[in-house]
Amino acid sequence: MIDTLIQDVPGAVAESQATEMTMSIWEMTLKGGVLMIPIFILSIIAVYIFFERYFAIRNASKEDPSFMERIKDYIHAGQIDYAINLCQHTDNTISRMLEKGINRIGRPLNDISTAIDNIANLEIAKLEKSLPALASVAGGAPMLGFLGTVTGMIRAFYDMANAGSNIDVQLLSSGIYTAMVTTVAGLIVGITAYFAYNALVARIERVVFRLQARAIEFMDLLNEPVN
């Protein structure tokens, strides 16, 4: 029986240590203190902006492969109204840009090009909406985390000074937890928002490239000699 108890001791100690070292995410968050609230709010804002902009950019960048060919056929046939109607029933950035250009057919080419560029800039500005806020989250969340680091260490030193010669680890743990947890949380939110921001910017750049390609294609169409 004694041998059995001796054999069970290591397992019991290991189980006890595992239990003591286990800490839920919620418990760890609470140890971060009040600064975890703005960091959490920033994380919610970042997630909302990313998914809202992601789907908006994806929808805006959709393009029917036959769209430009149909536009060319209508313009070659002189069916300007049909071309405008097609643009109005195709909801994307390219169709809105070309609709403005088609409406200007008959005017000087410089006027048409300027009108197209203006609409393209407006469409890009719409896609970039809220991206500055996401960039602010990417920069602001780590700063809040570092603020938590400073306040946590100040608290730890304050507790140490008040304890005198009765210093123990448990007394300092509260301030150190605040310092470390807020730093980790701020960095996680900031790094995630940073990569999300760059991912959205990359998708917008692809839309810009496509707009430029279609604008050039449209202007080349208008510059084609009349048979």
Q: Which two tokens stand for residue 216?
A: 């050039």
Least confident of 65-79, 107-121, 141-155, 173-187: 173-187
pLDDT grade, residue 108 (50/70/90)?
confident
pLDDT grade, residue 198 (50/70/90)?
very high
Would you put residue 130 in left (φ > 0), alpha (ψ -120 to 50) or beta?
left
Residue 120's nearest CA partner among 142, 140, 137, 100 is 100
Bridge partners of residue 105, in order along the sequence: 107
Which pTM does this prediction carry?
0.77
Residues 6+ apart with CB under 8 A from 54: 199, 200, 203
Q: Which two tokens stand for residue 196?
A: 């999300």
Distance (Å, whole) CA 111 – CA 82? 22
C-beta separation of 35 from 151 below 8 A: yes
Distance (Å, whole) CA 182 – CA 195? 20
C-beta separation of 48 from 40 below 8 A: no
Distance (Å, whole) CA 38 – CA 194? 17
So what's the pLDDT on residue 147? 86
Mean pLDDT to the nearest integer, 166-176:
62
Distance (Å, whole) CA 123 – CA 202? 16
pLDDT grade, residue 12 (50/70/90)?
very low
Segments of 67-177 assigned E as strands: none
pLDDT grade, residue 107 (50/70/90)?
confident
Distance (Å, whole) CA 207 – CA 213? 10
Question: Is the pLDDT at 47 greater than 70, yes or no?
Answer: yes
121-131 as b/e: b if 16+ CB within 10 A: eebbeebeebb
Distance (Å, whole) CA 18 – CA 22? 6
Rounded to the nearest integer, the mean pLDDT of the chain is: 80
pLDDT grade, residue 35 (50/70/90)?
confident
> Max CA-CA distance within the chain?
106
Q: What is the share, in percent, of the chain residues with pLDDT greater than 70?
A: 75
C-beta separation of 220 from 103 below 8 A: no
Top mean pLDDT of 8-22, 60-74, 153-167 is at: 60-74
Q: What is the share, in percent, of the chain residues with pLDDT greater than 90?
A: 27
Question: Is the pLDDT at 174 greater than 90, yes or no?
Answer: no
